[in-house]
Each structure stands twice: as C-alpha cells, then as structure tokens.
Structure 1
Amino acid sequence: MAARAFPLADILSVTTGLLLTRRTPSPGAALDEIFEYMTGEELAWWQAPRAADACTESFIAQHPFLADLKPPAATGSSLRKATLSLWLVTAELKHGTRLAVEPLAQWAPQDKAQELLDQIDLQSLPVAVPGA
C-alpha cells in the first residue's frame, strides 16, 4: 500500500495521547481513520491503545523528529489550550501540516472479542454473593 498523508495534528494525537486533531464535529474519527489505514482493519475502541503503541513506533521510525515533539506542560484549562495550540502551530510551521506515512508492516490482527476478554482481569472483578 502506498504512503498516505495525514494532518500532523492527527498524527500528534496518536503520539502524544492528546486529542489535538482539528476535525469536527467528531474528532475521534481522525484516529479511527489513521488506525484503519495503518493496521488495514477496522478496530474496536478497546483495540486503540495497542494500535496507538504500534503506530507511534512506526511514525517515529518514519519521521524521527516526532520523538522530540513533546507537548508543553501548562496548568489551567484555558492556558493549557492556548499553549497546546501555539505548540501545534509552531510544529506545523517547522515540519509541515501533513506527513506521509506508510502502513504498519507487521500488525497482528486479533479477534475483537478475544482481545477484549484478554484485557479483562476476571480474577480481580468483585464477586456478588447472594444474600450478603
């Protein structure tokens, strides 16, 4: 599959764990689109963390400067939003608003139901005792 360009803000949403995409009204669709392209499959929401880890590693391998793009720390919601916006615009001015990325070379598809069960620690769930 050929490389595809995605907005830097969307890619940084994956690598930083912060929802930086400018897509509205459904910003989560940006992540869905990246994950589907990168993995070649439509993922369930509980598969997103595994996809994010794999994609982050791939993005950094393809564009090493992403490893150094760390969002600034700021407190207060309005100050934090302004600080992140300025940081993002600065990153886009330096690196461009879009980056071409190749899909994952090695993605192990898993059964969605089994992957969800694997993530649930059944032994740590509270047990309801009738009459107690």
Structure 2
Amino acid sequence: MATRAFPLADVLSVTTGRLLTHRTPNPGSALDDIFEFMTGEKLAWWQTARAADACTEALIAQHSFLAELKPPQVTKSAIGRTALLLWLTNAEMKHGTELEVAPLTDWVHQDKGQELVDRIELVNLP
C-alpha cells in the first residue's frame, strides 16, 4: 500500500475540523486532495462528510498523536489568528511539517447519485 506525504497543516484540517492549511488561494483543495487520495475516488461535495469521518479515524489510527492535537478556540481577531498560527507552528516543530498517509482499506464506494438520494431521504425522516 503506497503512502503519500501531506503537510501536517492539511492533515490537521481534516482531524480538527478547522481549516489550518497554508494552501492559497483555494484552501479547500487541501481537503479534497487528502480525501481523494485516501478514498481512491473523486468525491462529490455531499460525500465529504462521510469521507471526513472515515479519514479522521484512519489518520488518528496511523498517527496516534493527532488525537491529542486540538487547536485553541480563538476569535477571528488578529490576536486569535496569531495564537492559532503559533499553535500550528509548535505542532509542526514537534511533529514535522509533513506526515506519511496511507489510503483507506475499508472505504465503501457508493454511487454519487444514490448517496445523494439516500441523504435526502434521511433528512426527510420524521
């Protein structure tokens, strides 16, 4: 099973639910890259929540220290952004700027259209 190196900031964007990537101008593409590599398929936007859950679990299983890395709850002020950047910089200094990531072995492919219909039906349940 071939692995691929991803920036720690991108991996933390998955595991923490906070967009921490250094990637610009399209920071969301960092998540797309990880999800597509780990699942082995190009996902529709409505599939990303399922992928995020599966990938978060797998990333923490691959690198147990990720479970302990929780960014500070900060405001969108300059001080808050600085505190978040300092936290991320400390994490990168301690754990490195990149992590080797293995693809999922148990990802279940679902037809995109059928998965959307299933999600809509779940939302409409009483």
Equivalents in 1 of 2:119, 2:15: separation in Å? 22
Deviations 1:39-71 (A, max 9, x none): 000000111111011011111101000000001
Equivalents in 2 of 1:88, 1:60: separation in Å? 17
Are residues 123 and 60 of structure 1, via their aligned partners in 2, closer, same or farther at CA, if it must alter by over 3 Å?
closer
Q: Which residue of 1 aligns with 2:124?
A: 122
Q: Which residue of 2 aligns with 1:4?
A: 4
TM normalised by structure 2 equals 0.93
Q: For residues 45-60 of structure 1, what are the structure 2 equivalents within 5 Å? A: 45-60=45-60
Equivalents in 1 of 2:46, 2:112: separation in Å? 8
Q: Which residue of 1 aligns with 2:97?
A: 97
Q: Which residue of 2 aligns with 1:85?
A: 85
- Note the residue ranges of structure 1 that are not aligned, 5 or more in a row: 125-132
Count residues with an aligned counterpart: 124
3-state DSSP of counterpart to 2:114:
helix
RMSD of Structure 2 on Structure 1 (CA) = 1.3
Deviations 1:65-111 (A, max 9, x none): 00000011223432221111111000000000000011001000111
Are residues 94 and 112 of structure 1, via their aligned partners in 2, closer, same or farther at CA, if it must alter by over 3 Å?
same
TM normalised by structure 1 equals 0.89
Deviations 1:13-49 (A, max 9, x none): 0001111111111111111111110000000011111
Q: Which residue of 2 aligns with 1:130?
A: none
Equivalents in 1 of 2:40, 2:76: separation in Å? 39
Equivalents in 2 of 1:82, 1:107: separation in Å? 37
| Amino acid paired to 1:101 | V
Equivalents in 2 of 1:85, 1:96: separation in Å? 15
1:73 aligns with 2:73: yes
- Note the residue ranges of structure 2 that are not aligned, 5 or more in a row: none
| Amino acid paired to 1:93 | M
Q: Which residue of 2 aligns with 1:127?
A: none
Equivalents in 1 of 2:103, 2:20: separation in Å? 21
Equivalents in 2 of 1:117, 1:37: separation in Å? 25
